[in-house]
């Protein structure tokens, strides 16, 4: 079991690093293309008629891979755990937190299902480079799958905390 935990920790670190570098790279590419477009409006040397396709793909990847990265580290914004502070019973608080994780899991499962369906049904291609639109859309189910995996892990952790609380520690 210890080896599995160590292996999963390594996979988590690698995936986190990949997502981090991917989003930074997409941001740099977007910045470079938009800067070039602005400069080419001032100094009209050439045209970036292909720019829209690359910008669309980079924005989609930046948004969805970035969302997956934030989901992985539980860095997404929230209104805080004000209900957990109101509910004084540790068992009820643990149930509440498990329900929140279950709702999150349902959300990302629905996102994954329908984004995969959209991606697989897409038959269009981009105008300039003839890139299949499913390449543009592929970031959605990939990032949703990452979120499904992390949400499932969070549900298991919360369920274990509910069933077997750590002795001496306050219940989550």
Mean pLDDT, residues 98-112: 95
Contact in structure between 129 and 50 (CB atoms under 8 Å): yes
Q: What are the residue ranges spanned by the domains of the chain?
A: 2-163
Higher pLDDT, residue 107 or 2: 107
Predicted confidence band at 14 (pLDDT cuts at 50, 70, 90)? very high
Share of the chain above pLDDT 70, in %: 95
For the full predicted model, state whether its pTM sits above 0.75.
yes
Mean pLDDT, residues 149-167: 86
pLDDT for 167 equals 56
pLDDT tens-digit series, residues 22-37: 999 999 999 999 999 9
Q: What is the mean pLDDT of the chain?
A: 89
Give φ, ψ of 125 to 5 degrees: -130, 160
- 3-state SS class at 156: helix
Show Cβ contacts of residue 98 under 8 Å, excluding neighbours closer than 6 positions.
Answer: 155, 158, 159, 162
pLDDT for 172 equals 46
User: CA 98, 103, 109, 111: dihedral to nearest 10 degrees?
Assistant: -140
Give φ, ψ of 75 to 5 degrees: -100, 5
Q: How far apart are CA 74 and CA 68, in angstroms?
A: 10
Mean pLDDT, residues 92-102: 89
Least confident of 3-17, 55-69, 83-97, 121-135: 83-97
- Residue 15: count of CB within 10 angstroms of its CB: 16
């Amino acid at each position: 079991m210890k080896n599995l935990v160590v292996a999963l920790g390594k996979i988590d670190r690698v995936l986190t690093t990949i997502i981090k570098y991917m989003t930074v790279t997409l941001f740099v590419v977007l910045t470079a293309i938009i800067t070039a477009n602005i400069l080419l409006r001032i100094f009209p040397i050439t045209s970036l008629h292909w720019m829209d396709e690359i910008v669309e793909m980079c924005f989609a990847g930046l948004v969805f891979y970035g969302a997956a990265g934030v989901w992985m580290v539980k860095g997404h914004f929230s209104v805080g755990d004000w209900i957990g502070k109101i509910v004084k019973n540790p068992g009820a608080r643990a149930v509440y937190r498990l329900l929140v994780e279950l709702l999150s899991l349902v959300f990302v499962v629905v996102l994954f299902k329908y984004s995969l369906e959209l991606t697989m049904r897409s038959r269009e291609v981009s105008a300039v480079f003839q890139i299949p639109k499913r390449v543009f859309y592929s970031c959605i189910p990939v990032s949703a799958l990452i979120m499904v995996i992390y949400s499932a892990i969070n549900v298991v952790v919360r369920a274990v905390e509910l069933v077997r609380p750590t002795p001496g520690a306050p219940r989550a």
